[in-house]
Amino acid sequence: MIKRWVSLEDQIIKIVLRTLPTDSIALSSKTALSLSPRAPLDCFTSAAEIELFRDDTERMVRAVWPNGKPKPGETLIELGCGPGFYSCAFAERFREINVLGIDRSPSQLKWAREKAEALELANCCFQNDNVLDLSHADNRFDVLIASRLFTVLPDRARAVAEMHRVLRPGGCCFIAEPRYAFWASIPLFAMWLLARITHFNIGYREPSKARVLSAREMNRLFATQPWRKMKTWQDGRYQYALCEKR
């Protein structure tokens, strides 16, 4: 048991260290040494690498494009994109679609843009916007994805209404949410800790603890909109919603 906790603590420290912007904070030389090789750095990619964060790219692709491929020119929006993990993955895999990642955190957007630039993604951009009051017109996007967004949102039903509004009729959305507050809180806690132990303002505004939805709450939340089809389900530590607009 003690061993498990030590290794968990180790993992949290790893996430925090990998998240630190290399050029912005005064650190001990030992710490700085372990930071230098990676830029841009993000806690979610690190979390995925050490299996705290499930990579659902394949699952999303299969759910929104059952034949495995989008039509050229399709538009995909990711809400609460963070450092751009999924936006970049979709844009890299499908160069024929246009991807827009939305987040309200300038530092997350900066890292997302750096990642897209490093991958030379001409079909991927990022915008500062509020998922509770999106600046986009009705019926604008073919596909919408959101991962681990609802754990930090104050007004979840409002976000689902905005999702429904910006999707075109026939368009679909895929939502991935953690089921257990403990696991969902680790990357959040890492970011929270980082914001406190550094004197650098990383623009982090999320709580240190995640508020997860029960299966029933997840179902009720998505049922607040008049979808043509709607399905919610659980799989291990995650739960999902797949909805198609009428």
Ligand X SMILES: C[S@@+](CC[C@H](N)C(=O)[O-])C[C@H]1O[C@@H](n2cnc3c(N)ncnc32)[C@H](O)[C@@H]1O
Q: Given the rule CB under 6 A, which residues bind ligand X? A: 44, 80-82, 85, 102-105, 108, 130-132, 147-149, 152-153, 206
Q: Could you tell me the smallest distance in angstroms from the CB atom of residue 212 to ligand X?
A: 11
Distance CA(70)–CA(22), nearest Å, equals: 37
DSSP structure string for 78-136: EET-TTTHHHHHHHHH-TTSEEEEEES-HHHHHHHHHHHHHTT-TTEEEEE--TTS--S
CB nearer to ligand X: pick between 17 and 149? 149
Counting every residue, how long is the chain? 246
CB nearer to ligand X: pick between 156 and 245? 156
In angstroms, what CA-CA distances link 236 with 55, 177, 240? 13, 11, 11
Residue nearest to ligand X (CB): 82
CB nearer to ligand X: pick between 70 and 187? 187
CB nearer to ligand X: pick between 27 and 92? 92
Q: Alpha-carbon dihedral of residues 104, 110, 116, 121, nearest 10 degrees?
A: 80
Q: Could you tell me the smallest distance in angstroms from the CB atom of residue 72 to ligand X?
A: 26
CB nearer to ligand X: pick between 103 and 142? 103
Q: Could you tell me the smallest distance in angstroms from the CB atom of residue 132 to ligand X?
A: 5
Residue indicated by tokens 């089921």: 179
Q: Could you tell me the smallest distance in angstroms from the CB atom of residue 147 to ligand X?
A: 3
Q: Could you tell me the smallest distance in angstroms from the CB atom of residue 188 to ligand X?
A: 6
Radius of gyration of the chain (CA): 18
